[in-house]
Amino acid sequence: MSHVVFLSWWWPYPANNGAKLRIYHLLRQISRHHRVTLLSFAEPGEAAPEHIAHLRDFCAQVEALPKPVYQPGRTKALLGYLSRWPRSLVDVYSPAMAERVQAAVRQETVDVIVASELQTMRYLELAPQIPAVLEEAEITFFHNRVQQAAAARSRFRAQLTLSKLEAALRTLLERGVAMTVVSEAEREYMARFAPPGACIEVVPNGVDTAGNRPDPAAQPADHTLIYTGAVTYSANLDAVTYFVRDVWPLVRARAPEAQFTITGGTGNVDVSALAAAPGVTFTGYVPEVAPVVQRHSALVVPLREGGGTRLKILEAMALGVPVISTSKGAEGLNVRDGDNILIADQPAQMADTIRALFDDAALRARLAANARALVEREYDWSAIAQRLLKVMDRVKES
């Protein structure tokens, strides 16, 4: 049994967002095959004793360190302009985490280091002799920021960040660090700047199919839609804004009783104009999302930007709730339009698709059954983790 040091930017339990869900379930699966030391950042209020105890049920060691907060205006961040690293990674670099990584390597044999997300990549430089995996190395978001920048100055800054990230990732790949991404589109993008022979593998998101099951007692309300995602994330805000502004009036014109629910925190985002639309409700943060999702006719995913594969889609499929999505929202998932999901990219098309789903119980049942079969077959975390374990084996043997 190998010793794995797992570095996490997100405190993984309770798993109350998509990043934490991925980390939590991968940790559980990896620990079935290896001895895991978890070194994780934690925000204030996280890493309570009972949460640490829970993680120690399957991780051999668990340590929480204070999570740095990126402050663009402070001196450390401004000096980041002179660094080869993006200044956000300069500003949030933690000497305490660096010390713990070095101590873990000194104290005993470490066979593999798994660094989760870009914010942990700098710590891999502290132990270049140890095989390593940068898990979920997603940079499409930064590419999108360049494309979407309206002003020349903001475009220049976004391009500078992207260029530094690409250079840093290329250096790690040249050193032999393996990288995982969650979609084929992300892998193809990274392959543009990767050196020949680099190990970049797709390890998509997954779902706990045992913990998320259709509830025969659930009675979804007619003509109801739900979107699960905090609008504090720009891609979610864009999706909700687009849907309420361009699609929802078309839906309500034919189904005036229709209701649209958005779960997730709103933070400092002003959603008053969106919430004023007829039939639209923002619930705020919901501790248990699954029961809420199952009370709706369908999950709608009108995403137009962002990267990755959507945990919200996989969870709804596991719960037996039909899904209507844009092509962007379903990107990276092995889905088939009309079989286990409905795809619509234009407002009128999406509104027509929603109305058809409202009116056809047989279609809803078929989509739900086929989607559940898909996630059981391809997207359970036990199957997803096998892909990561193979990458870890590959770097150990190289």
Q: What is the pLDDT of residues 313-344, one digit of tens each?
A: 999 999 999 999 999 999 889 999 999 999 99
**Residue 398 pLDDT exceeds 90:** no
Work out the percent of the chain whose per-residue pLDDT is above 70.
Answer: 99
Q: How confident is the model at residue 80 (pLDDT cuts 50, 70, 90)?
A: confident
**Co-location of 112 and 22 in the same domain:** yes
Q: How far is the C-alpha of 332 from the C-alpha of 309, rounded, in Å?
A: 6
Q: Tell me which residue of 89, 107, 86 sits closest to 39, measured CA to CA.
A: 107
H/E run at residue 38: strand 35-42
pLDDT value at 309 more than 80: no
Lowest model confidence (mean pLDDT) among 42-51, 139-148, 169-178: 139-148
Host H or E run for residue 5: strand 3-8
- 215 in any annotated domain: no
One domain for residues 140 and 199? yes
Helix/strand/coil for 325: strand
Asked if 25 and 173 sit in the same domain, the reply is yes
Q: Are residues 306 and 364 in the same domain?
A: yes
pLDDT of residue 270: 95
Same domain, 361 and 249: yes
Q: Is residue 55 part of a domain?
A: yes
Q: Indicate whether 161 and 290 sit together in one domain.
A: no
In a domain, 214, yes or no: no
The answer to the question of residue 263 being in a domain is yes
The answer as to whether 212 is a domain residue is: no
Q: What is the pLDDT of residue 295?
A: 96
Does residue 306 register a pLDDT over 80? no
Note whether residue 219 is domain-resident: no
Structural domain count of the chain: 2
| Structure confidence by residue, pLDDT tens digits, 179-233 | 999 988 899 999 999 999 999 999 999 999 999 999 988 889 999 999 999 999 8
Mark whether 75 and 201 lie in a shared domain: yes
Does one domain contain both 108 and 257? no
Cα end-to-end distance, the chain, whole Å: 18
| Domain shared by 61 and 147, yes or no | yes
The residues with which 182 forms a beta bridge, in sequence order, are none
Backbone angles phi, psi at 183, to 5 degrees: -150, 160
Lowest mean pLDDT among 87-101, 143-157, 237-251, 377-391: 143-157
* Alpha carbons 63 and 52: distance in angstroms, whole number: 8
Average pLDDT for the chain: 94
Kindly report the backbone phi and psi dihedral angles of residue 241, in degrees, each rounded to the nearest multiple of 5, phi listed first.
Answer: -60, -45
b/e map 128-163, b = 16+ CB within 10 Å: eebbbbbbbbbbbbbbbbbeeeeeeeeeebbeebbe
- pLDDT for the residue numbered 301: 97
pLDDT tens string 133-159: 999 998 888 888 888 888 888 899 889
Residue 49 resides in a domain = yes
Order of all β-strands in the sheet with 224-228 = 280-284, 259-263, 224-228, 298-301, 323-325, 342-343
Q: Would you state the pLDDT for residue 212?
A: 94
Q: CATH number for the domain including 175?
A: 3.40.50.2000
User: Does residue 116 share a domain with residue 178?
Assistant: yes
pLDDT band for position 298 (cuts 50, 70, 90): very high
CA 259-261-265 angle, to 5 degrees, is: 160
Statement: residue 45 has pLDDT above 90 = yes
Do both 190 and 261 map to the same domain? Answer: no
Do 360 and 274 have their domain in common? yes
Is the pLDDT at 308 greater than 70? The verdict is no
What's the pLDDT at 287? 87
What is the extent of the structural domain holding 85? 3-206+380-397
Yes or no: say if 282 and 266 are a contact pair by the CB < 8 Å rule: yes
